[in-house]
Amino acid sequence: MNRFIVPIAVFVALAVVLYIGVEHSPDKSNMVSALLGKPAPAFELPVLGDATRKFSTRELAGRPWVLNVWGTWCAECRIEHDALLSIARQNEVPLIGLNWRDEDALAIEWLRQLGNPYSVVAVDGDGRTAIDFGVYGAPETFFIDANGLVQYRHVGAMTPDIWEREFASRLPKGALP
């Protein structure tokens, strides 16, 4: 019995230290990205609902934009959807959807039922574009400035507070599309 006390005590101590570290982390949703301050990965992908049309990041050259990675299979994506609709109504910056590893029919129905906050939705069926952005789970949202540089990455559901503090605050004055 005594030989188990020390390993159990060490395990409990480590668990407590890890718990305290996570709880006192200043912002658990602000994941450092290797892309910060670097050019956003360029992509050209099919447009959801119109497979004959391609969307390219070249269309956004010279202006800031926001990329939101989502999927119908993602519970947090449903939670953030109302916030995205509100952001889209502000019409401050193009909000580009990256539908990640999803079925087109499900994504089209999702947007029909819940509303479409996106200027355009690019289909990332094989997940390569998300990988280029360093995405490991949905939702993730990126702010790309007018120079095409990634300035911010948010992991988790978007909220009005996060939008105002971390995204809208980075927009140049008069940045309407």
Would you state the pLDDT for residue 177?
47
CA distance 131 to 138: 12
Q: Is residue 138 situated within a structural domain?
A: yes
Q: Is residue 104 part of a domain?
A: yes
**Distance from chain centroid for Cα 135:** 8
Candidates 125, 140, 119, 134; CA nearest to 63 is 119
Task: Establish if 14 belongs to a structural domain.
Answer: no
List pLDDT tens digits, range 116-137: 999 999 999 999 999 999 999 9
CATH number of the domain where residue 52 is located: 3.40.30.10
Domain assignment present for residue 164? The answer is yes
* pLDDT attached to residue 51: 81
Instruction: Show the domain range for 101.
Output: 27-170
Domains in the chain: how many in total? Answer: 1
pLDDT tens for the 177 residues of the chain, in order: 667 787 676 666 666 556 565 555 555 445 567 899 999 999 999 999 998 999 999 999 999 999 999 999 999 999 999 999 999 999 999 999 999 999 999 999 999 999 999 999 999 999 999 999 999 999 999 999 999 999 999 999 999 999 999 999 999 876 444
Q: Which amino acid is at 168?
A: A
The pTM for the full model equals 0.82
Residue 32 near residue 25, CB atoms below 8 Å? no
Asked, for residue 15, whether it belongs to a domain, the answer is no
